[in-house]
Amino acid sequence: MESKEIITHSAAETQQVGEQLAQRLPKGTVILLDGDLGAGKTTFTKGLATGLGIKQLVRSPTFTIMREYHDGRLPLYHMDAYRLENGGGADLGLEEYFDSDGVLVIEWSQWIADLLPADYLRVSLKRADQEDEATRTVTLTAHGTLFVQLVATLKRPADE
Ligand SMILES: Nc1ncnc2c1ncn2[C@@H]1O[C@H](COP(=O)(O)OP(=O)(O)OP(=O)(O)O)[C@@H](O)[C@H]1O
Ligand SMILES: [Mg+2]
Domains and their CATH numbers in the chain: 2-154 (3.40.50.300)
Give per-residue pLDDT as tens, 95-151. 778 889 999 999 988 888 888 899 999 999 999 877 778 999 999 999 999 999 999
On whether the CB atoms of residues 66 and 94 are closer than 8 A, the answer is no
On whether the CB atoms of residues 126 and 37 are closer than 8 A, the answer is no
Residue 160 pLDDT > 60, yes or no?
Answer: no
- Alpha-carbon distance of 145 to 131, in angstroms, equals 38
Between the CA of 116 and the centroid of ligand 1 the distance, in Å, is 26
Distances (CA, A) of 57 to 49, 67, 84, 100, 104: 9, 11, 25, 22, 17
Give per-residue pLDDT as tens, 57-85. 998 876 668 899 999 999 999 998 887 77
Q: Which residues line ligand 1 (CB under 6 A)?
A: 8-11, 13-14, 35, 37-43, 60, 134-136
